[in-house]
């Protein structure tokens, strides 16, 4: 597996593994023993970067990742997140007050079975807490040896700049894929200027860009896609145009649509690391093979020209979820 660098010093595998769906958000949680096998298989395949958060479950995903990766302590990078209230086992609004950040850090250290948190993200910006206070708290945790790197998720350009001025930001985690590209105009130039890496979540569009979801697909109870505008039956029919494009290029490269979608993300900037999630070993192998696919400048331009004529139907979240979701 090739390596990439986030920020100035954090080296990780070019593709990471998003672990959320193993416990939360995309239907019933996977069988724990099976999920541990998938995570450990990822390590065997060269994956060194794993993503979780306290709110995934809540708590159960960190516990899963901690148990699975305990034998590889010091060999892998685990990213986790703070920034929500959790009440009665459910997420209830944002909370990045310094005392909550510290509480989450201590709890995450225990659940992940580590001595230091490799990458600690603010999961969502808290409008009630100045970002300088957030960055300052994480800076203190870094100085205390409890955290190595500071990250932000889904933050705007000015928030990133303000945070970075207090404590250098290693990575911004935000949604990015062939059908979610809103960050290219303002966020990309900002983080490139500041030397911040992008960790791209949902690089396969929560499974749609892998080509296995159509208008007949039924999502399980508890699957977030049941509530997302982009995954209505009407939208899935309309958005087949993008899948057709992926299938076309997949055929020409002897690859799968998922591999082309991931290779496209990797080709955009050398400081982007996608973190596709899966609960299946064969999908893990398929996704990881994308790191070896090279799209030429001509192929990238051809994709760009063709995709410019495709209008994606449906927003990625509802308006209310944009403000509150932990996904």
Among all residues, which ones are annotated catalytic? 56
Angstrom distance (rounded) from CA 43 to CA 49: 9
Residue owning tokens 């990015």: 176
C-alpha closest to that of 202 among 237, 231, 177: 177
Contact assessment for residue 17 and residue 79, using Cβ atoms and an 8 Å cutoff: no
Q: What sign does the CA torsion over 35, 38, 41, 47 have?
A: negative
Of 114, 118, 120, 119, the residue nearest 100 (C-alpha): 120
Residue with tokens 């308006």: 319
Judging by beta carbons within 10 Å of its beta carbon (0-12, 13-18, 19+), is residue 241 exposed, middle or buried? Answer: middle
Query: 3-class SS at 39?
Result: helix
Contact 61, 111 (CB under 8 A): no
Alpha carbon 297 to its chain's center = 26
The maximal CA–CA distance of the chain, rounded, in angstroms, is: 54
Nearest to 178 by CA among 282, 290, 50: 290
Q: Which residues of 255-272 are buried (b: 16+ CB within 10 A; e: fewer)?
A: bbbbbbbbbbbbbbbebb
* Residue 173 tokens, joined: 């985690």
Angle subtended by helix axes 157-166 and 187-194, to nearest 10: 20
């Amino acid at each position: 597996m090739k390596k990439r660098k986030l920020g100035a010093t954090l080296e990780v595998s070019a593709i990471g593994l998003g672990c959320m769906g193993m416990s939360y958000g995309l239907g019933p949680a996977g069988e724990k023993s099976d999920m541990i096998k998938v995570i450990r298989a990822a390590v065997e395949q060269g994956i060194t970067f794993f993503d979780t958060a306290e709110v995934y479950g809540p708590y159960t995903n960190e516990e899963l990742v901690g148990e699975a990766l305990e034998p590889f302590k010091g060999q892998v990078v685990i990213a986790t997140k703070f920034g929500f209230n959790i009440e009665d086992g459910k997420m209830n609004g944002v909370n990045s007050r310094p005392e909550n950040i510290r509480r989450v850090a201590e709890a995450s250290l225990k659940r992940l079975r580590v001595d230091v948190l490799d990458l600690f993200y603010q999961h969502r910006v808290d409008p009630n807490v100045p970002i300088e206070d957030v960055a300052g708290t994480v800076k203190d945790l870094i100085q205390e040896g409890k955290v190595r790197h500071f990250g932000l998720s889904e933050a705007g350009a000015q928030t990133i700049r303000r945070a970075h001025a207090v404590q250098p930001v290693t990575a911004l985690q935000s949604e990015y894929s062939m059908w979610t590209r809103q960050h290219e105009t303002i966020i990309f130039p900002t983080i490139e200027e500041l030397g911040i890496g992008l960790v791209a979540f949902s690089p396969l569009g929560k499974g749609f860009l892998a080509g296995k979801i159509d208008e007949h697909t039924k999502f399980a109870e508890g699957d977030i896609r049941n509530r997302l505008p982009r995954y209505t039956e009407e939208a899935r029919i309309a958005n087949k145009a993008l899948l057709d494009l992926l299938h076309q290029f997949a055929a020409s490269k002897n690859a799968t649509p998922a591999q082309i979608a991931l290779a496209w993300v990797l080709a955009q900037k050398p400081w982007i690391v996608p973190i596709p999630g899966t609960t299946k070993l064969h999908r893990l192998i398929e996704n990881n093979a994308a790191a070896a696919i090279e799209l030429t400048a001509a192929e990238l331009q051809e994709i760009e020209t063709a995709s410019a004529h495709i209008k994606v139907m449906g927003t990625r979240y509802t308006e209310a979820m944009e403000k509150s979701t932990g996904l």
